[in-house]
């Protein structure tokens, strides 16, 4: 038996890591622990990018995306564009547990939630509405369609992605987000996409993403990292590879690499993270009982 390892994105990842560790100590599986950690962040109204209190889209509607994956079985589930349901990570797990499908969206996902005892609730808080209104991209003609901000705005996103390796070496992962604030209604990022926002395989490793989802989808980030680890790369090398790929594809399009960050746990149980240069990326790590917040060193590949 090895020490359990938990890694989660952003400073609020500390809450996820602490909660996941307690869940592991209570005898839960790696996936259940990751879910408990993610759900603690969904429940925190002060976090403006996940669950309750998330910032709304261009119309002010809070629309959530999530996915889960079990490294033992490759069971996975996902939901996207879900309104008025707070615990979308748990809903994604239910898709995996109770249906033959992997991915439910919008009204269908909401209907499935209601069938399974979830309740509807407003996901904004007085504080989140005020922040939404204050930071909303200003439009000349309020009657016109709101203008989209550049999707790289530093403070308009931040997903919680939680990866867990339990003492028996099994892996589980969860990703949950309200996505980019002020996004176009209907926009879905990487977070609920298996292989982009999350991929977990006991035999290869676990990997997750955060940041500008469009760039993460473009490189198939989580699958890229997991396959790199399957071929023997460390978690750090896998995360750096994903950053390198973002740089390479940005160069091909003549744009700056977007703000993105990656986390991973390799099959040996090493946690690691990497990010592009303009991303101030902090993440939380637990090994055994020790929990710490770390700052990722941006990776600048030689091009």
Does residue 179 belong to the site contacting ligand ASP (CB under 6 A)? Answer: yes
Does residue 128 belong to the site contacting ligand ASP (CB under 6 A)? Answer: no
Closest by CA position to 259, among listed 212, 219, 208, 190 = 212
Q: Which of 9, 19, 152, 159 is catalytic?
A: 159
Is 24 or 58 the residue whose CB approaches ligand ASP more closely?
58
Q: 3-class secondary structure for 39-91?
A: HHHHCCCCCCCCCCCCCCCCCCCCEEEEEEEECCCCCEEEEEEEECCCCHHHH
Please work out the total of residues on this chain that contact ligand ASP, with binding judged by CB under 6 A. 13
Does residue 208 belong to the site contacting ligand ASP (CB under 6 A)? Answer: no
Q: Cα(114)–Cα(123) distance, rounded to whole angstroms?
A: 16
State the nearest-atom distance from the C-beta of 192 to ligand ASP, in Å: 9
Q: Cα(237)–Cα(7) distance, rounded to whole angstroms?
A: 16
State the nearest-atom distance from the C-beta of 119 to ligand ASP, in Å: 25
Closest by CA position to 234, among listed 195, 275, 272 = 272
Q: What DSSP element (H or E) covers 8?
A: strand 5-9
Is 158 or 227 the residue whose CB approaches ligand ASP more closely?
158
Does residue 211 belong to the site contacting ligand ASP (CB under 6 A)? Answer: yes
State the nearest-atom distance from the C-beta of 47 to ligand ASP, in Å: 12
Does residue 19 belong to the site contacting ligand ASP (CB under 6 A)? Answer: no
Out of 152, 177, 226, 276, name the contact with ligand ASP by CB under 6 A: 177
Residue 177 catalytic?
A: no
Indicate the angle between helix axes 106-115 and 88-98, nearest 10 degrees: 80
Indicate the angle between helix axes 30-42 and 88-98, nearest 10 degrees: 150
Q: Compute the C-alpha angle 41/43/46, nearest 5°.
A: 75
Q: 217-256 mask for ligand ASP (x: CB under 6 A)?
A: ----------------------------------------
How many other CB atoms sit within 10 Å of the CB of residue 177?
A: 33
Query: With CB under 6 A as the contact rule, which of the stretches 52-60, 186-194, 224-232, 274-282 interacts with ligand ASP?
Result: 186-194
Out of 32, 70, 190, 202, name the contact with ligand ASP by CB under 6 A: 190
Binding region for ligand ASP (CB under 6 A) = 157-159, 177, 179-180, 189-191, 210-213
Active-site amino acid positions? 159
């Amino acid at each position: 038996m090895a020490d359990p390892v938990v890694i989660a994105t952003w400073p609020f990842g500390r809450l996820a890591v602490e909660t996941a560790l307690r869940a592991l100590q209570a005898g839960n599986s790696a996936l259940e622990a990751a879910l408990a950690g993610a759900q603690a962040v969904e429940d925190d109204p002060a976090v403006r990018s996940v669950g309750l209190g998330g910032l709304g889209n261009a119309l002010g509607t809070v629309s959530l995306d999530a996915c889960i994956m079990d490294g033992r079985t490759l069971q996975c589930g996902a939901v996207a564009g879900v309104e008025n349901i707070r615990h979308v990570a748990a809903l994604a797990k239910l898709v995996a547990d109770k249906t033959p499908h992997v991915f439910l969206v919008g009204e269908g996902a909401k209907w499935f939630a209601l069938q399974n005892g979830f309740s509807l609730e407003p996901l904004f808080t007085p504080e989140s509405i005020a922040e939404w209104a204050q930071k909303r991209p200003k439009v000349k003609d309020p009657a016109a369609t709101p203008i989209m901000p550049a999707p790289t705005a530093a403070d308009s996103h931040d997903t919680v992605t939680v990866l867990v390796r339990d003492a028996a070496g099994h892996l589980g992962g969860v990703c949950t987000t309200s996505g980019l604030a002020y996004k176009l209604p209907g926009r879905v990022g990487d977070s609920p996409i298996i292989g982009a926002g999350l991929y977990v395989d006991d035999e290869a490793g676990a990997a997750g993403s955060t940041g500008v989802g469009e760039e993460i989808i473009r490189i198939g980030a989580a699958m890229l990292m997991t396959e790199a680890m399957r071929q023997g790369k460390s978690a750090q090398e896998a995360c750096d590879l994903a950053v390198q790929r973002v740089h390479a594809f940005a160069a091909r399009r003549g744009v700056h690499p977007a703000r993105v960050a990656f986390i991973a746990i390799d099959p040996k149980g090493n946690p690691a993270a990497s990010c592009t240069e303009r991303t101030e990326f902090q993440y939380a790590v637990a090994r055994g009982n020790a929990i710490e917040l770390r700052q990722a060193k941006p990776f600048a590949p030689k091009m």
